[in-house]
C-alpha cells in the first residue's frame, strides 16, 4: 500500500500555551499559519495526522525523571527570563512532543511520505535537564530517539536552520554516531554555541556539523551552507530518515535576529532537503516548527515549505504509479 502524501500535525490545544503577557513565542504564530494555509487552500490538500501526548517513557529517552517532575510542578512560573510555563503548559508541551513523535513514526513506517508538525512550544534549545530559549521538551530529539528505539540500526539526519543554534539537540546527540546533527545559524548569537569547531565527541566525532553565519547573511550564504552540509556530510552519512528543525526566524523580516533569508530562500532550502531525501531514504522527511516571530512572514514561509514537501510527496507517488 502506497504511503499517504504530506502529513499536517497540529492541535487546537497548542494555542493555550500562553505567558499571559506580550511574548515573541505567542499563540498568534500558529493562528496565523493555520489561517493562511486555510485561505490558500493548501491545508485541505494535506493529510491530517493525530497529535498524541508523549508518555513518560518517550520523554525520558531524552530528559531526566527529575526534569519531568519539575516541568509538571511549574505551572505559572518562569524557568528563565525567556521561558515560561503557563497554565496547562506541561500538558501542552507533552502533546507537542508526542505529536512530533507520532508523525516521525508515521513517516518511518511509510504511512506518510513526509510531514510538517505545527507545534508549540518549540524544542531545540531544551537540554535533558534544563528548559531554555522558549523550549520545554526537545520535540525533535524525542522523535528521533523514538525512531532509533523502534529500529536501533537506523541513521537519522537532523538539519536545523533556525536562526538560533539548537544547543539542546546538539548536546543530546553529541556523542551519538547514529544521528548527524547539522545547523545553519547566526553566530555569534544566542545561545552562544554552534561554533565551527564543535563537531561531536567519542563515537559521535564528526557527526555534528555547524555552519555559523554572520549577521546580514542572506539566501546565497544560507543555501550555500545547506548545500555544503548535504553534499559533504549528509550524503556520506546516508541517513534512513531526514528531520528538519524548521525555524523561520532567519527571515529578513524577523524581529529577533539579523539574517536576511527570503521566503523564496526557505522554499529552495526545503526543495534541496527533499531532493536529497528522495535520493537516499525514499523521501522520508519530518519537519518540526521551531522559531519564527513575524507572524505574517512565518505564515508565508510555512506555505512555501509545505508546498515543497507536498510536491516532493506527490512526485514520489507519481514515480511509484508510473513504475507500477
Q: Which of 80, 96, 86, 100 is nearest to 13 (CA)?
A: 96
Q: How many CA atoms lie within 13 A of 316 on its CB side?
A: 26
User: Cα 248 to the chain's mean position, in Å?
Assistant: 10
Phi then psi for residue 85, to 5 deg, are -125, 100
Q: Is the peptide bond before 259 cis (omega within 30 degrees of 0)?
A: no
Q: Are 120 and 17 in contact (CB under 8 A)?
A: yes
- DSSP assignment string, 51-96: --PPPHHHHTTTS-HHHHHHHHT-TTEESSSS-EE-TTHHHHHHHH
Provide CB contacts within 8 A for 215, sequence distance 6+. Answer: 186, 189, 257, 258, 259
Q: How many CA atoms lie within 13 A of 323 on its CB side?
A: 7
Annotation marks residue 125 as catalytic: yes
Q: Tell me whether residue 130 is exposed, middle or buried, using C-beta atoms within 10 angstroms of its C-beta: 0 to 12, 13 to 18, 19 or more.
A: middle
Of 125, 164, 165, 305, which one is the catalytic site residue? 125
What are the b/e assignments for 64-103, b being 16+ CB within 10 Å? eeebbebbeebeeeebeebbbbbeebbebbbbbbbbbbbb
Helix axes 295-323, 263-280, angle to 10 degrees: 30
What amino acid positions are annotated as catalytic residues?
Answer: 125
Amino acid at each position: 500500500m502506497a504511503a499517504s502524501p504530506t502529513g499536517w500535525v497540529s492541535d487546537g490545544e497548542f494555542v493555550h500555551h500562553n505567558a499571559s503577557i506580550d511574548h515573541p513565542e505567542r499563540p498568534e504564530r500558529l493562528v496565523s499559519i493555520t489561517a493562511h494555509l486555510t485561505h490558500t487552500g493548501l491545508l485541505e490538500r494535506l493529510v491530517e495526522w493525530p497529535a498524541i501526548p508523549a508518555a513518560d517513557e518517550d520523554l525520558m529517552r531524552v530528559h531526566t525523571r527529575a526534569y519531568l517532575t519539575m516541568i509538571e510542578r511549574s505551572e505559572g512560573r518562569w524557568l528563565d527570563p525567556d521561558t515560561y510555563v503557563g497554565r496547562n503548559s506541561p500538558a501542552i508541551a507533552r502533546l507537542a512532543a508526542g505529536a512530533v513523535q507520532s508523525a516521525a513514526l508515521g513517516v518511518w513506517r511509510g504511512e506518510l511520505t513526509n510531514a510538517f508538525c505545527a507545534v508549540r512550544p518549540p524544542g531545540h534549545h531544551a537540554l535533558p535537564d534544563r528548559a531554555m530559549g522558549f523550549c520545554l521538551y526537545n520535540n525533535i530529539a524525542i522523535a528521533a530517539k523514538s525512531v532509533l528505539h523502534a529500529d536501533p540500526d537506523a541513521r537519522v539526519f537532523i538539519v536545523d536552520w533556525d536562526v538560533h543554534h539548537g544547543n539542546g539537540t546538539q548536546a543530546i546527540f553529541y556523542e551519538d554516531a547514529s544521528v548527524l546533527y547539522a545547523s545553519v545559524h547566526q553566530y555569534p548569537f544566542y545561545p552562544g554555541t554552534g561554533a565551527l569547531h564543535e563537531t561531536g565527541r567519542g563515537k559521535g566525532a564528526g557527526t555534528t556539523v555547524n555552519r555559523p553565519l554572520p549577521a546580514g547573511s542572506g539566501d546565497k550564504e544560507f543555501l550555500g551552507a545547506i548545500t555544503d552540509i548535504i553534499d559533504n556530510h549528509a550524503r556520506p552519512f546516508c541517513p534512513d530518515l531526514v528531520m528538519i528543525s524548521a525555524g523561520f526566524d532567519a527571515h529578513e523580516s524577523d524581529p529577533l535576529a539579523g539574517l536576511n533569508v527570503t521566503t523564496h530562500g526557505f522554499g529552495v532550502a526545503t526543495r534541496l532537503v527533499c531532493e536529497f531525501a528522495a535520493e537516499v531514504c525514499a523521501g522520508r522527511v519530518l519537519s518540526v516548527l521551531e522559531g519564527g516571530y513575524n507572524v505574517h512572514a512565518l505564515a508565508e514561509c510555512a506555505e512555501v515549505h509545505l508546498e515543497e514537501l507536498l510536491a516532493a510527496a506527490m512526485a514520489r507517488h507519481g514515480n511509484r504509479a508510473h513504475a507500477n
